[in-house]
Amino acid sequence: MTFKLARLGKPLLSPSFIALAVVLALGLPTIGRHLISRAEAQPADPMVPYFEADPYWPRPLPHHWRLGQTVGVSIDSQDNVWIIHRPASLERMESYSTRGEADCCMAAPDVLEFDSAGNVINSFGKVEGHDWPTSNHGVFIDKEGNVWLGANGQEQPPSYAPGSTGQYPRRGMEPPAAPYVEGGTRGAYHDDFILKLGHDGKFLGEIGRANASKGSLDTENVKGVAMVRMIPGTNELIAADGYGNHRVAVWDATTLKFKRMWGAYGRPPTDNPVPHYDANSPQFGNPVHCAEPSNDGLIYVCDRTNNRMQLFKYDGTYVKQYTLETNTRGDGSIWEIAFSRDPKQKFLYISDGANEKVHVFDRQTMKELYAFGGGGRQPGEFYALHSLVTNSKGDIFTTETYRGQRVQRFIYKGMMPLSKLMQMKFVGNSEIYAPQ
């Protein structure tokens, strides 16, 4: 069978038509399979989003406030940006005015809310009368405007500790020496709770209690939660319960009662010690650093120092595993995950605090397209890139822990062919990297 296509009065042989003829000869099931495969294939030069750091966001903090290790970021329904940091992680010279030793400076309250222009419009810190973390970790604002806080402090507050200096413990202020160790399952662990607070910090309830965890199978308490999110279309709160435990746990956001849990591959979690840097580990390591639900029924779990993410259905059914930069040691490569804001959440972003990059993936194919960032302290660079989130405009907001101590905005600049972006090498001050 021969197909010809007329152009300018001359018959031309079309390779695609010849291919179609061959497929027709093989039968309709084959044509359907091949055409679908071709339709779903990754374009040779896909259009990708690109971003540029905004060096003027946020605006200067009021009252000579300074940020410590900045360990969580969330966006509310008004596109306001919320962060949480660790005030006690400031060095002595960063808090002179607290002690009346100089005009500058002092620690900002634990939780800050910024408007879209980068102005602080709300803040609050520790409120007496209920549990409070010895190590803040993770913030999430739900659709009602409630503020959820995770925490990963093993130590006791100073009022509990014999010989206390009156300051909160300052664990993890510097990048740990290899081999990397953080979290764990042995001994007392103070931050065994998730706090539910109002917009002004008013206490609304908590999951768990301080010093109460009974381990990874506990249905009343958590143990070092890295972050929490809400599962779309439900009233279920999902926690990356992974600094002391080795699990993902789901709770009712109203009653605060336990609903279900799972470990790596959907298996029951255990408290067995788990070595780092094993992409085939039968259990999650410490920390399980994120549990990010997508709109299409999946949950992406960050097993940080095992350099992998595992995908699950909302009910905890295991789907698949992906790895990233598996030679990474130190803090590991997969810290947190965010999605682009289009209805299909086409792009997936991963914060990589050891390699100091944001990795950009096509979410359907799970192919890495490129990465941006680079190690440094200038706008667009990172020191211990920790958390990230997107707003309704597609901008990315990041936080940095250890001595990074800041939040940055990366403005969504539009789409361009990947080949053109790779030729640029830099966008603003961010270096562009090819996939590993």
What's the pLDDT at 187?
65
Residues 36 and 121 reside in one and the same domain: no
Instruction: State the CATH number of the domain containing residue 295.
Output: 2.120.10.30
Residues 9 and 111 reside in one and the same domain: no
Residues 13 and 123 reside in one and the same domain: no
- Tell me: cis bond preceding 105? Omega within 30 of 0 counts: yes
Domain range for residue 12? 1-40
How many independent structural domains does the chain possess?
A: 2
What's the pLDDT at 186?
55
What's the pLDDT at 42?
62
Residues 323 and 298 reside in one and the same domain: yes
Tokens of 27: 């039968």
Residues 18 and 56 reside in one and the same domain: no
Residues 100 and 126 reside in one and the same domain: yes
What's the pLDDT at 128?
86
What's the pLDDT at 41?
57
Residues 23 and 54 reside in one and the same domain: no
What's the pLDDT at 316?
98
Q: What is the pLDDT along the chain (436 residues), one digit of tens a residue?
A: 333 333 333 333 444 444 434 333 444 333 233 333 333 456 789 999 999 999 999 999 999 999 999 999 999 999 999 999 999 999 999 999 999 999 999 999 999 999 999 999 999 999 889 999 999 999 999 999 999 999 999 988 865 443 333 344 443 333 333 333 444 445 679 999 999 999 999 999 999 999 999 999 999 999 999 999 999 999 999 999 999 999 999 999 999 999 999 999 999 999 999 999 999 999 999 999 999 999 999 999 999 999 999 999 999 999 999 999 999 999 999 999 999 999 999 999 999 999 999 999 999 999 999 999 999 999 999 999 999 999 999 999 999 999 999 999 999 999 999 999 999 999 999 999 999 8
Residues 216 and 339 reside in one and the same domain: yes
Residues 138 and 10 reside in one and the same domain: no
Residues 17 and 59 reside in one and the same domain: no
Residues 100 and 213 reside in one and the same domain: yes
> If 0-12 CB within 10 Å is exposed, 13-18 middle and 19+ buried, where does residue 92 land?
exposed
Reported pTM: 0.86
Residues 274 and 130 reside in one and the same domain: yes
